[in-house]
Structure 1
Amino acid sequence: MGRHSRKGPEPAGPNTDAGLANGDGGREGVHPGPGSGRRRRVADAQAGADGHTPFQQAGHVRGGHPEQREPGGGWGTGPQQTVPRRQPPVGTRPLIPGPRREFVEAFDAPPAPPAPRGPTVPPARPADPYSSVGEWAEQPPSGAAAPTPTESGREGRGTRGRTFTGMAAAAVTAVLAVVVAGQVAHDSGGTSAAQPTGVDRDGVDGASRSDDRPMPKAAQAKPLSYAEKMAKAYPLSPELHGSGKFEAVPGAVKAPGRGHKYRYRIDVEKGLGLDAAFFARAVQETLNDDRSWAHDGAMTFERISSGDPDFVITLASPGTTGDWCRKSGLDTTEDNVSCDSAATERVMINAYRWAQGSSTFGPDKLFAYRQMLINHEVGHRLGHNHVSCRTPGALAPVMQQQTKSLRIGGIKCRPNAWVYPVD
């Protein structure tokens, strides 16, 4: 197509035409610098001493496209007719043919602006396709100042980024609105429309919110067995002096065997904090064991809680035990032991020894020590006195004072709980 129109005076002079005639407009191998499609003004170039103006329109084609090598190239050759040579006025530089319009439109078209968010603005009047390249490149639309290439690129990318960010934010807002609306409807008593297929829900609020759902029961500790209680120590001070008031353990247990029957009652001092029913069971099972005084049917023991007993087995604090033992001329305070207060109806069991045991048996033989304590004191009530061990390493007799020591007269024996032990 012919010469592009441009602003400025028409170039004249033989040097310009000579340059055209010599094929300056069709040169190849010139690598243009970076640009946005806008041509630099011709006035920016300085003429040489011979009047030749350096080529100013060189600009790299974006995207790395190769240059055209057809006759004239992508820059055109300008008019070929002979023009009379004229000397250009002083200060005026000859014009160089500009790039073809299709190349400018292909690589330098600005990105389309995003759709407006505010009030609808009438579209701008399309540019005249036949206007000059210079006018199209130099005049910004609507009279606004033309942005620089760097600003144009940043503006386009920033606008697209903001557009995508806005779309993503709108999508997230829509999803949150749906979730909140569904939760509000569910909490207000409405049924949710997004229930899983095939899942039946009873009630309006669903099974997970039902008021009829049973509450989980608190985990309860398994009660200790009789053997575990007999092997367990209980806290009690060795200097405790209780109230001195007793309370009979209710209930009765028949004598299980034959032979002479002894009836007894169990009293427990108030305020000890010990299990009275457990103590009563321990007494009954120990006395009627075949290794005890009921061995081979010689006698049997029956617990009562009312009536006239043969004796009263009493669990009392160390202070109260001392008081009752003193009535029979016995001192139990020196070693904090138990006694049979023969002048009274009471067989006194020191609650401290029952709860803590003794060093002679140790903490791992509390079960056996408690059995020995019952058999020893009831043995006194049945008429038996103290007996010492005579064979080293043998089982100590049940009537030996095993709470005090297992070594008597230089002979040490092993602890023993029974009248008739099975060694």
Structure 2
Amino acid sequence: MRGGHPEQHEVGGGWGELRTGARPTAGPGYGTAPGLPLAAPQGVSLDLPQGGPGGRSGPRIPPQREDVRAGGPRQTYLDAFDEDDDVFAPGTGGVRAAGPPAASAFPDAGAGRGGPVFPETGLPAKGRGGGRGRTFAGIAAAAVTTVLAVVVAGQVTDGRAEKTVRAQAAGAGGRDARDSASRGDRRPTPTGTPSVAPLTYEQKMAERYALGEEFTGSGKFDAVLGFDKAPGKGRKYTYRVDVEQGLGLDAELFAEAVQKTLNDDRSWAHDGARTFERISSGEPDFVITLASPGTTADWCAKSGLDTTEDNVSCDSAATDRVMINAYRWAQGSETYGDRIHSYRQMLINHEVGHRLGYGHVTCGKDGDLAPVMQQQTKFLDHDGIHCKANPWQYPGS
């Protein structure tokens, strides 16, 4: 007895082929050798069917419960697939002609245990076809069914998750969160960063810039490279523009402002009398210098001028420098308020006017425009007369 029920070898190979040269031993539970009468196990009656198609080649032995400890499938599981067939009964294939058993496909199978076993598993070899085939086919089908059930369940879960994502996306912005493009195929896709139009000269000149009123720079200057040809035919003056290092101001803007202001017809170039040309090499007639308040004061002191009291600019006549106070250039003055562009024009014209030989004057009548050579950074009103801010030498032109 093995596994809680008898085993039986049949000619049809229900329990596999016997080892070559080994003969089945007659006795209860194992059948008889070919040519010998069958012996029924004790308590089992043999009902031998007639030979022919569909008949069985051995006795029908009632199925018995499989011992769980023997390693076989549970009887309740087997019954779910085939209640009529014993899983471990002999094969139910067609009748095989009587004759000596074929050589075993597994020569190492033990002959004394009633039949060959699989070398890998130690389980008896199964017959081809019959109830066992259907049983194990059913087991395989059950495994496939289980896998399909898991797959379907996963797809259902994914479907629900997908609907949840779509619903959340619709609630947030009305778009499918999975849609990476989130735009129609016909809509153009922006490339790069949006371009911002650069500020114009007038816009830059209308802005204030940060710079401390007590700031003292390095005292070192850089010439603004480039060349601006004198536009007129009058007396030509050449100049260079220097900017102190570390100011953080737009040196190109300052140089452009100097050239445009000096050659404006309302300025010293009025009526073709003079023309101004910017150079960055060679010997200029003067150097217009944008410097910090501290550096401006140092250079103005070389000409005996004190610019610290009102933090103003100067023409340092003892040197070649016309000093423009960077704090005033960046922040303007109270007298001009928000008219920062006009104030910068006045600042250039006033200090270059000193270089050209003009001194300070004031307006003589209440309500008149202040002359460009008036100290408009310090005041517009004097002696009860109110003067209007004015950046030009010839404002009516």
TM bin, normalised by shorter chain, reads 0.5 to 0.7
Q: CA deviation at 1:409?
A: 1.9
Partners of 2:158 and 2:234 in 1: CA distance: 90
Q: CA deviation at 1:331?
A: 0.2
Q: Bigger shift: 217-226 or 339-348?
A: 217-226
C-alpha offsets along residues 143-199 of structure 1, whole Å, 9 cap, x if unaligned? xxxxxxxxxxxxxxxxxxxxxxxxxx997755556899xxxxxxxxxxxxxxxxxxx
* Counterpart residue number, 1:420: 394
Asked if 1:387 is matched to 2:341, the reply is: no
* Contiguous gaps of at least 5 residues in structure 1: 1-117, 123-168, 181-204
* Counterpart residue number, 2:290: 315
| SS in structure 2 of the partner of residue 315 of structure 1 | strand
Partners of 1:393 and 1:271 in 2: CA distance: 41
The 3 A distance-change label for structure 1 pair 173 and 284 is: same
AA matched with 1:378: V
Q: CA deviation at 1:410?
A: 1.8
* Counterpart residue number, 1:408: 382
Asked if 1:260 is matched to 2:212, the reply is: no
C-alpha offsets along residues 371-396 of structure 1, whole Å, 9 cap, x if unaligned? 00000000000000001011111110
Q: CA deviation at 1:228?
A: 0.4
Partners of 2:332 and 2:154 in 1: CA distance: 75
Q: Which has the larger radius of gyration?
A: 1
| SS in structure 2 of the partner of residue 250 of structure 1 | coil
* Counterpart residue number, 1:397: 371
* Two-structure CA RMSD over aligned residues (Å): 3.1
* Counterpart residue number, 1:374: 348
Partners of 1:374 and 1:174 in 2: CA distance: 79
Q: CA deviation at 1:119?
A: 3.7
C-alpha offsets along residues 89-116 of structure 1, whole Å, 9 cap, x if unaligned? xxxxxxxxxxxxxxxxxxxxxxxxxxxx
Q: CA deviation at 1:285?
A: 0.2
Asked if 1:341 is matched to 2:316, the reply is: yes
% identical aligned pairs: 65
Q: CA deviation at 1:221?
A: 3.1
Asked if 1:243 is matched to 2:190, the reply is: no
* Counterpart residue number, 2:38: none
* Counterpart residue number, 2:245: 270
| SS in structure 2 of the partner of residue 309 of structure 1 | coil
Partners of 1:170 and 1:308 in 2: CA distance: 89
Partners of 2:195 and 2:311 in 1: CA distance: 37
Asked if 1:301 is matched to 2:276, the reply is: yes
| SS in structure 1 of the partner of residue 323 of structure 2 | strand
Partners of 1:336 and 1:290 in 2: CA distance: 29
Partners of 2:151 and 2:270 in 1: CA distance: 94
Number of aligned positions between the proteins: 232
| SS in structure 1 of the partner of residue 324 of structure 2 | strand
* Counterpart residue number, 1:136: none
1:357 to 318, 321, 332: 332
Asked if 1:329 is matched to 2:342, the reply is: no
| SS in structure 1 of the partner of residue 248 of structure 2 | coil
TM-score (norm 1): 0.51
| SS in structure 1 of the partner of residue 339 of structure 2 | helix
TM-score (norm 2): 0.54
| SS in structure 2 of the partner of residue 261 of structure 1 | strand
Partners of 2:153 and 2:209 in 1: CA distance: 66
Partners of 2:151 and 2:286 in 1: CA distance: 93
AA matched with 1:389: C
AA matched with 1:309: P
The 3 A distance-change label for structure 1 pair 383 and 177 is: closer
The 3 A distance-change label for structure 1 pair 178 and 405 is: closer
* Counterpart residue number, 1:150: none
* Counterpart residue number, 2:254: 279
* Counterpart residue number, 1:94: none
Structure 1 stretches of 4+ moved >4 Å: 169-180
Q: CA deviation at 1:258?
A: 1.1
Structure holding more helix per residue:
1
| SS in structure 1 of the partner of residue 222 of structure 2 | strand
